[in-house]
Chains A and B, each alone.
Chain A
Amino acid sequence: MSTRKWGAALIGAAALAVAGLAPAAQPLKIGFVYVSPVGDAGWTYQHDLARRALEKQYGDKIVTKYVENVPEGADAERVIRELAASGHELVFTTSFGYMNPTIKVAKSFPKVLFEHATGYKRAKNVGTYNARFYEGRYLAGIVAGKMSKSGTAGYVAAFPIPEVLQGINAFTRGMRSVNPKAQVRVVWVNSWYDPGREREAAMALISQGADVLMQHTDSTAPVQAAEEKGVYAIGYHSDMSKYGPKAHLTASTHDWTGFYGKLVGEALAGKAQPTNIWGGIRDGMVKMAPYNPAVPQDVRDLVAKAAADIAAGRLHPFGGPVKDQGGKERVPAGKFMPDDQLAVMDYYVEGVQGQLPKK
């Protein structure tokens, strides 16, 4: 695949040189490090979609290479170092746990630009990028609030870290924006990926009255469980509709195509700088998947309006007043929650049932 293109590009360049024409520029080599297999849905799949879009957009001006299923840790450093040492001028490391290896390797390769997803450490040649996933969760909450008959949604969650809590809270606030009495039940499976456990958690939530499921785990098992039990589900990361044609209402997805495309364009022009981006709906990084026919037009319009308001800055999923479960006001009316508070979120908002696991 990419090696073959590389070879073709070399032969092409050689042919041009022999013909006495101006020598073609070397293609820009771009490396990607993935934490899981590419698969057919999920976090890594979304990054690979964007990588494939790059190849299409820039053709033989670039060569991309990816290494999948790289564990976060010592192996990651080796893989990142190899990519940098083999002439890749732009390296995307797409998982939080690659943060320290990326910073470490970057010191040895000052001419290579590293871009690390979801981290917070930056350097002269290391940028970070992340998406405001919670904006998509808020929109998903609106869909859930409108489609739920019982007013109870179930949330299959992985680990109680700020990013997951932002999602649960934004979803709950979205749901309660259209149904003030709505409740969200949360079950933690303490794993990003375990289809069996995700299914069991989904089944428990369904039999406790949840008729819309949302997930913050990586497998499609919750959507399948919803399909089996005849309730609704909203996917995450990717469009999961084929795993639950009747159940899958939509999905909260992320799209890196625009970001990668822009940065690579700058790199080709020799103007790329390390980024510090936390993009949302406005930047096209957060999107909703196509709707199930069961979702009526007025709900779609409502979501579209909320999305436009969020993009324009008129609406914020954590716009005050934001009260936590205990009734304590976290954001006063008329204010938006600042990013530094979002980044350390460690509580449930009103409307989430049960207590947050203690650290």
Chain B
Amino acid sequence: MTDALVPILAATLAAGTPLVFAALGELVVEKSGVLNLGVEGMMLCGALAGFAATVASGSAAVGALAGLAAGAAAALVFALLTLTLQANQVAAGLALSIFGVGLSAFAGKPFESVALPAPQPFALPALADLPLVGPVLFAQPPLVYLSWALFGLVSWFLYRTRPGLVLRAVGESPAVAHAIGYPVIGIRYLATLFGGAMAGVGGAYLSVSYTPMWAENMTAGRGWIALALVVFATWRPGRVLAGAYLFGGVTIAQFFAQGAGAAVASQLLSSLPYLATIGVLVLISRNPNVIRLNAPVSLGQSYHPDA
């Protein structure tokens, strides 16, 4: 039993990791009241930059940093449009997604034929030898451990620090935050850049660590799933993490079921990750007060201090 479970659980964590990065980043963005629908585009920019940097430098760490920078750069374009120039956030976010798909495909042409060696997982000494949890939790690529650190950081920052409180206040009522003297636009800039950077790292994880290759549109919709996760998880980091792993887990489990010869239509199995994630998250957030408490009130609305 243990032998059968280990590969499923280990693969679950690996499959959920790009969603963890992108969704936690977007969570911070939305908590500041900005709705950036460009996650898919930022992930692709990060995936391409990460891959290109890894090819050039031979180091996956440099690749992850390049993915981070590229995602943040894409987010900067969005921030300029929506925060400085007051463009509509929904329209600008959609444009960023489409732009990111096209730009990465265009700039990625020379990298389509390049192959990277398969990365080896980074087993934590001692911990990796524990039965069951060792091979599942502690024999993963480095970016998986970093995604847990990110989770801890985001949870702590948002709910246990003063700057986190200020960021949430900006998301609730930018006018009030401005009146007290906080730089609303500046805070939103920082949050948006952070979200873009995390989406970029999520993309780089895909192209450098998970499937070490560059291929046009290789994120295949994961950015949109990350966006949906944030909403379904009612803007709570713990639920985002659980939702990402649930989605990854059901995806992996249905492949194992198919390989084992389960007599269920594969089309139905393929839709299970979506159904299960929506089902569970709807169940845990069925109390409308929870949504009202956690949803940033000013989400998606432009704010200008002089208006």
Option from B118, B220, B264 in Cβ contact (under 8 Å) with A195: B220
Q: Do B218 and A355 touch (CB < 8 A)?
A: no
Given contacts A185-B261, A357-B266, whether A39 and B215 have CB atoms under 8 Å apart is: yes
A194 proximity list for chain B (CB < 8 A): 220
Which A-chain residue is minimally distant from B212 (CB atoms)?
A224
Count of residues in B whose CB is under 8 Å from the partner chain: 36
A199 at the interface (CB under 8 A from B): yes
Residues 338 to 359 of chain A near chain B (Cβ within 8 Å): 353-355, 357-358
Q: Do B259 and A196 touch (CB < 8 A)?
A: no
Residues 113 to 170 of chain B near chain A (Cβ within 8 Å): 113, 115, 118
Q: Do B215 and A203 touch (CB < 8 A)?
A: no
Per-residue A-contact encoding for B240-267, CB less than 8 Å = 1, 0 else: 0000000000011001101111111111
A82 at the interface (CB under 8 A from B): no
Q: Do A357 and B265 touch (CB < 8 A)?
A: yes
B105 proximity list for chain A (CB < 8 A): 37
A207 to B259, CA, bound (A): 10
Q: Do B267 and A357 touch (CB < 8 A)?
A: yes
Interface residues on A, range: 35 or more
Q: Do A39 and B255 touch (CB < 8 A)?
A: no
A227 proximity list for chain B (CB < 8 A): 118
Min C-beta distance of B124 to chain A, whole Å: 20
A201 proximity list for chain B (CB < 8 A): 255, 258-259
Option from A39, A160, A204 in Cβ contact (under 8 Å) with B252: A204
A318 to B236, CA, bound (A): 56
B291 at the interface (CB under 8 A from A): no
Per-residue B-contact encoding for A204-232, CB less than 8 Å = 1, 0 else: 11011010000000011100100110000
Given contacts A195-B213, A195-B218, whether A190 and B270 have CB atoms under 8 Å apart is: yes
Option from A196, A220, A354 in Cβ contact (under 8 Å) with B261: A354
Q: Do B270 and A208 touch (CB < 8 A)?
A: no
Q: Do A203 and B211 touch (CB < 8 A)?
A: no
Given contacts A190-B267, A228-B118, whether A199 and B215 have CB atoms under 8 Å apart is: no
A40 to B214, CA, bound (A): 11
Option from A191, A193, A200, A358 in Cβ contact (under 8 Å) with B255: A200
Q: Do B213 and A188 touch (CB < 8 A)?
A: no
Min C-beta distance of A159 to chain B, whole Å: 9
Q: Do A200 and B113 touch (CB < 8 A)?
A: no
Min C-beta distance of A298 to chain B, whole Å: 30
Residues 55 to 87 of chain A near chain B (Cβ within 8 Å): none
Which B-chain residue is minimally distant from A191 (CB atoms)?
B220
B259 proximity list for chain A (CB < 8 A): 154, 185-187, 201, 204-205, 208, 210, 354
B11 at the interface (CB under 8 A from A): yes
A203 to B8, CA, bound (A): 9
B206 at the interface (CB under 8 A from A): yes
A46 to B2, CA, bound (A): 44
A199 to B270, CA, bound (A): 15
Q: Do B210 and A242 touch (CB < 8 A)?
A: no
* Contact count A vs B, C-beta below 8 Å: 113
Q: Do B118 and A224 touch (CB < 8 A)?
A: yes
A207 to B5, CA, bound (A): 10
Option from B211, B216, B266 in Cβ contact (under 8 Å) with A196: B211
B238 at the interface (CB under 8 A from A): no
A39 to B18, CA, bound (A): 25
A337 at the interface (CB under 8 A from B): no
A291 proximity list for chain B (CB < 8 A): none
Min C-beta distance of A186 to chain B, whole Å: 7
B267 proximity list for chain A (CB < 8 A): 188, 190, 357
Q: Do B215 and A190 touch (CB < 8 A)?
A: no
Given contacts A39-B112, A196-B15, whether A355 and B222 have CB atoms under 8 Å apart is: no
A189 at the interface (CB under 8 A from B): yes
A188 to B270, CA, bound (A): 8
Q: Do A200 and B252 touch (CB < 8 A)?
A: yes
A336 proximity list for chain B (CB < 8 A): none
Given contacts A40-B113, A204-B259, whether A196 and B7 have CB atoms under 8 Å apart is: no
Q: Do B11 and A354 touch (CB < 8 A)?
A: no
A197 at the interface (CB under 8 A from B): yes
Q: Do A199 and B211 touch (CB < 8 A)?
A: yes
Min C-beta distance of B47 to chain A, whole Å: 10
Given contacts A187-B255, A200-B255, A203-B11, whether A354 and B113 have CB atoms under 8 Å apart is: no
A278 at the interface (CB under 8 A from B): no
Min C-beta distance of A67 to chain B, whole Å: 15
A195 proximity list for chain B (CB < 8 A): 206, 211, 213, 215, 218, 220
B264 proximity list for chain A (CB < 8 A): 357
Per-residue A-contact encoding for B184-196, CB less than 8 Å = 1, 0 else: 0000000000000
A39 proximity list for chain B (CB < 8 A): 112, 215-216
A188 proximity list for chain B (CB < 8 A): 258, 266-267, 269-270
Contacts A219-B213, A243-B213 known; 8 new A-B pairs at CB < 8 A: A39-B215, A40-B112, A160-B266, A185-B261, A186-B259, A190-B270, A195-B218, A224-B212
Ordered by A's residue number, 22 sampled pairs between the chains whose C-beta atoms are within 8 Å are A154-B259, A189-B255, A190-B266, A196-B211, A196-B218, A197-B251, A198-B211, A200-B251, A201-B255, A204-B256, A208-B256, A210-B259, A219-B213, A219-B218, A220-B215, A221-B213, A224-B118, A243-B213, A354-B258, A354-B261, A354-B263, A357-B266
Task: Identify the 9 closest CB pairs spanning chains A and B, nearest first.
Answer: A354-B261, A40-B113, A188-B266, A228-B118, A204-B255, A207-B7, A357-B266, A190-B270, A195-B211
